[in-house]
Chains A and B, each alone.
Chain A
Amino acid sequence: TQLLEQSPQFLSIQEGENLTVYCNSSSVFSSLQWYRQEPGEGPVLLVTVVTGGEVKKLKRLTFQFGDARKDSSLHITAAQPGDTGLYLCAGNFGNEKLTFGTGTRLTIIP
């Protein structure tokens, strides 16, 4: 069974600060995604990474895939209240399903 651990579980910071959240697995991903989920809504895909060491940017969000493809990080620069939500990583281990991480609940305080 593949497990994805995310850290921290909860994070509350002031508007304008930077933050990083992490996603770790003991198994190698064939691909990894980050989703954001807002209250009362379903998860929405932010990015997919495939290649070890890959870095992708989405405005103020920077996603990095570890060289060994077992971990990933999401860095947010100058956080805004609109970034508040539940951030989920999800990995595909070469089978026909996505395994989701334990989630990071992010709150940005205005």
Chain B
Amino acid sequence: DTAVSQTPKYLVTQMGNDKSIKCEQNLGHDTMYWYKQDSKKFLKIMFSYNNKELIINETVPNRFSPKSPDKAHLNLHINSLELGDSAVYFCASSQELGSAPLEAFFGQGTRLTVV
């Protein structure tokens, strides 16, 4: 049983193309995220959605557009891909339970290579 699954795992595409990455979680969580991990393994939040509503947008270029059709899905569409977009993109989810600490569960990642 995969808790957070994202597709595809690998994506190689040319500059200027538009691509999408899909994410689904079966944990019943209310909040989903997209993170970007660069070549130095630094993990940086891009977006956060809570019950389909955008709550965090960390100054990401507007070529990146997240969409959440329901609270179990959060997709990421990227327009006009650039070389600098090459990275590993992780989807994650968490459950807000009052004052309980925020704990994230991650997918396996999508390695995007722009050539």
Contacts and interface: CB of A to CB of B under 8 A. Distances in A.
30 contacts: A30-B101, A31-B101, A31-B102, A33-B101, A33-B103, A37-B41, A40-B109, A41-B109, A42-B4, A42-B92, A42-B107, A42-B109, A43-B43, A43-B90, A44-B106, A45-B104, A48-B101, A48-B103, A50-B101, A92-B101, A96-B31, A96-B48, A96-B50, A97-B48, A98-B102, A99-B45, A102-B42, A103-B41, A103-B43, A105-B41
A55 interface: no
B27 to A, nearest CB: 12
Interface string A58-89: 00000000000000000000000000001010
B113 interface: no
B102 A100 contact: no
Interface residues of B, number: 24
Interface residues on A, range: 20 to 34
Nearest to B56: A97
Contacts of B105: 45
Interface of A: 30-31, 33, 37, 40-45, 48, 50, 86, 88, 90, 92, 96-100, 102-103, 105
Contacts, number: 57
B108 interface: yes
Given A31-B101, A50-B101, A98-B45, 4 more contacts: A43-B104, A43-B106, A48-B101, A48-B103
Contacts of A50: 101
